[in-house]
Each structure stands twice: as structure tokens, then as C-alpha cells.
Amino acid sequence: IEWPSKKVRETFINFFKEKSHKNWPSSPVVPHNDPSLLFANAGMNQFKPIFLEMADPNTELGKLKRACNTQKGIRAGGKHNDLEDVGKDTYHHTFFEMLGNWSFGDYFKKEAIEWAWELLTEVYGLPTDRIYATYFEGDEKAGLQPDNEAKDIWLKFLPPGRVLPFGCKDNFWEMGDTGPCGPCTEIHYDLVGNRDAASLVNMDDPTCLEIWNIVFIQFNREKKDGPLKPLPAKHVDTGMGFERLTSVLQNKMSNYDTDVFVPIFHDIQKATGARPYSGKVGQDDVDRVDTAYRVVADHIRTLSIAIADGSRPGNEGREHVLKRILRRAIRYGKEILNAEEGFFSGLVSSVIRVMGNVYPELKEHEKKITEILQEEEASFCKTLEKGIEKFQKAAQVVEGNTLSGEAMHLHLRSYACLICVYQLMADEKGLIVDVDGFDKAMNESKDRSRNAQKNQAGVAIVMDADATTTLLKTGVTATDDSCKYIWFQ
């Protein structure tokens, strides 16, 4: 292939190195010293001290004027949370790489846009008629001006019909509730071509992809929902989705059809014996096996990297997010791909084969990653099995064809997180779950444990009850791919 992912990455870095950018290493996905962040969600995170003028000018960081890199990022939880989409679409991952270039008080809009254009059209050779650019249209309420400067620069390259204004949601970028931020201009690419795709930009259409965001960092938000404070200097911060760019350059309609994911799919197939990935995706006709492939491949990357960078699945904060991701993967693997216990940790070697040379920390910690995942997988499979076993007991208390809510509560309150599995099992027996009765019993125990507030176990049950209530109220069932039963426990 003309553009193997390795070459895509190297070409980006070399382009900016030639323009005097320092190739700065990726920070860990686990931001050990930034409590405002769950995981690194963008390349700019580690440069926050520079934007806020808090970097020591005598350090290498403090002296940086231009930098570029490929940053490891995780978007699960926090302001940028894509977890729910992962597996269902073809271009959001929990873990992904972000190619970035930065100017710290150095060049600004003109160079940033011109170089992006040069790289995409002259170096990567993308056809110009597939490219759309967006710019910030301003926001009166927030007292922010339209970014006509960015618009005018784009009009040198693109016809007016492909330079489009958008508001704060798409074209004012913020890393979290607080932090450096500013208006942005984004580059979108039409995967189909020979059509006017302007109306598809920013519409979550899988055939018209956002590939590159160029942010003009000029403000800091000190407090959540607080005012924007202008920064002393103006900076450029860009981020391009590596997997998306690769799909474009490899002429694929999906990130998952590139050499970044295909080898992992191959190993999932071998490990589970499921039918091969068939690459179907669509809002109405979601193929569950294909979805499971995408989820499992995505999540094993995320967990491998997060553990290599010093975190692990657990019960609080980011560790809890990792636990949810792990369980999501295992549920899809076991239930849909009919995988055996151990299949998930077995995929670590596959991730290392694809990414080990770029991120040597994966190789270095291979044993630890595999062991932690093995252990977690075994313990979750036990929970799943216990829940199923307890369900058999609860299922003996039947009134007509209805499963008593009281009995469900009695046997299953500690495994309420598996409610979707129970609904599926009840359905198979031709039974109906007394959802209201179960809900009521759970709520009563919730009230009881609220009275005994400081009891940790009680609090855990409160969470389960809330989760169950939301689940049942929204009518999510185990056959629904958005099933969230694994999330709470």
C-alpha cells in the first residue's frame, strides 16, 4: 500500500521538523499531575504550562517555540467522551493518536493554515475538491468575534461554498471545564467525492470526516462556566486524528479497515472463532458481530496503553473508567463473539505487534498488562457467572409469567448491574421481569443505605439502584447494543 500507517505518521513529523518544529515526545495517557483531566484528551494538554506562562523559561519546555508530535489520547469520560459511540461508528475510538503541531507565541493563523494545506494536498496528495474548512462564526453572548481572518486565508485555497461558519460547539475548542482555549478552524474530508458535501459537514456523517482541528489558543477559562480571560500571547495548537487520516490515505471508508486495525481483527477472529469481520456499519442496521469486533479491538488498545502508562482497572476515577471499558469489551466478546475467558488478555500481543515500535512502553510492560487483564477478566467472568446463577434462583419465584420484583431484589441486589442479562434470560424463558417491583425494592434499599450514608458498600448499592432505574426507564435491553449493564458495579 502507498500509505502504510507508519509512513503517515513519519511524514507528518518530518514535514513539521523541516519547518523548525521540535519533535516532542507524547505524554502518558494518564495525566499523573493534572487533576482536571481524566486522561490525556489532546496533544496540547502537556503544554498547558506554556500557554498559561507557568513553564520555567530555563527548562527545555519553557524554551519551546515550535513543537510537533503524535500524542496518545483517550476520550472516555470527562468533557470529550466518545465511549458510547465506539464500536457503533467507524471513526471514534477511545484510544487514538493525535498528530499535532504547535506554535508558542510564534507563528499564527496564516502559517498554520497554509502549512496544513501544503501538507494535505502537496505532501499527502489529497484531492483538493474533497476538502472543506470550517471557521468560528462568533458568539455574541460570549462577546466573541467571528474569525474572518481564518475564513479569508481559506478563501485563497477553497471556493466560498466549501468554507463554512460554525458556532461554539464545533469551532471554539476547550480541553475541559477549565484551561487554555480559543476559536478553531477545522478541515473535513469527503470520503465519497464528486458531490457537494457541504451540508454533511459536522453532521456526524461517516462519509464526511472531520480530520484536523487547528486551534488558536488565546484565552484561559479559569473556572467552570466562568469568563474567558485573554492570554498574554497567541498560540497555535493543532490535532489531526491519525487513524482518520490513515483511512483517508488508504482509501477506506472506515478507520477499522486500515492496517491499524486489520491485524487485530485477524487475531480476534482466531481467538474467538467468530465469523470474520464484514465491515458493515449503519445507524439502522447495526451488525452486532462487526460492532463487537470494533469494540474489542478498540478497547484492548486503550487498556494496553493505559496500563503501560501506569494506570489499571479499579474502582475510582480513571481506574473505574478503565474497568467499565474492560467489562464492555468482555461482554461483547463473550456474548456476541462467543469468546472463551482469557481471549481478551490474549490480544495484548496483537496490539504490541501493531504499535510496539512506536510506543516501546507497551513492550516493556507486556507481562504486567497481560497479567492485570487476565486477572480482571477472570474476576468479571465470575461476576457474570454468579449473577446468572443467582438469576436461576430468583426465576423460581414466578407469579403467572411475571418474575417477582421482590425475589429479584432478594437474590440479585448485589448483581443489579447485570439487569440487562436478566431481562434477556427472562425473555428466553418466556417470562417478564416485574421492573416496577424491582425498582421499588431497589429504591427502598437505596433509602435505607442513604440513612447509613458513610457505609461504602451501601453507597455502591445506591449507585447500582440509580443505574438500574435509569436503565429500566430508558428501556434499554440486553439485545440493545447500547446496553450499559457492565458499567455499574
- What residue ranges bind ligand ATP (CB under 6 A)? 75, 80, 82, 92-93, 96, 98, 210-213, 239-241, 243-244
Closest CB to ligand ATP among 297 and 403? 297
Q: Which residue is nearest to ligand ATP (CB)?
A: 241
Q: Are 253 and 282 in contact (CB under 8 A)?
A: no
Sequence-distant (6+) residues with CB within 8 A of 35 are none
Say if CB 196 and CB 160 are below 8 A apart: no
Rounded CA separation 180/359 (Å)? 28
Q: How far apart are CA 389 and CA 397, in angstroms?
A: 14
- Pick 235 or 390: Cβ nearer ligand ATP: 235
Q: Whose Cβ is closer to Mg ion: residue 136's or residue 485's?
A: 136
Q: What is the C-alpha separation between 15 and 12, in angstroms, rounded?
A: 5
Residue for cell digits 478503565? 322
Cell numbers that stand for 279 in this block: 465491515
Q: Indicate which of ligand ATP, Mg ion, none lies near residue 241 (CB less than 5 to 8 Å, by partner kind).
A: ligand ATP
CA distances from 190 to 130, 238, 247, 294 (A): 5, 20, 12, 22
Q: What is the 3-state secondary structure (H, E, C) of 346-384?
A: HHHHHHHHHHCCCCHHHHHCHHHHHHHHHHHHHHHHHHH
CB of 319 to ligand ATP, least distance (A): 20
Residue type, 377: E
Q: Which is nearer to ligand ATP, 47 or 96 (CB)?
A: 96
- Closest approach, Cβ 489 to ligand ATP, in A, equals 25
- Compare residues 210 and 464 and give the one whose CB is closer to ligand ATP: 210
Closest approach, Cβ 60 to ligand ATP, in A, equals 25
Instruction: Indicate which of ligand ATP, Mg ion, none lies near residue 237 (CB less than 5 to 8 Å, by partner kind).
Output: none
Distance (Å, whole) CA 120 – CA 109 = 17
Residue 387 near which of Mg ion, ligand ATP, none (CB within 5-8 Å, type-dependent): none
Least distance CB 279 / ligand ATP (angstroms): 18
Exactly one of 27, 213, 254, 345 binds Mg ion (CB under 5 A); that residue is: 213
Q: Shortest distance, CB of residue 211 to Mg ion, whole angstroms?
A: 9
Does the protein bind Mg ion through residue 255 (CB under 5 A)?
no
Closest CB to ligand ATP among 211 and 355? Answer: 211
Q: Is 425 helix (H, G, I), strand (E, B) or coil?
A: helix
Least Å from the CB of residue 83 to ligand ATP: 9
- Partner in contact with 212, chosen from Mg ion, ligand ATP, none, beta carbon below 5 to 8 Å by kind: ligand ATP
Binding site for Mg ion (CB under 5 A): 210, 213
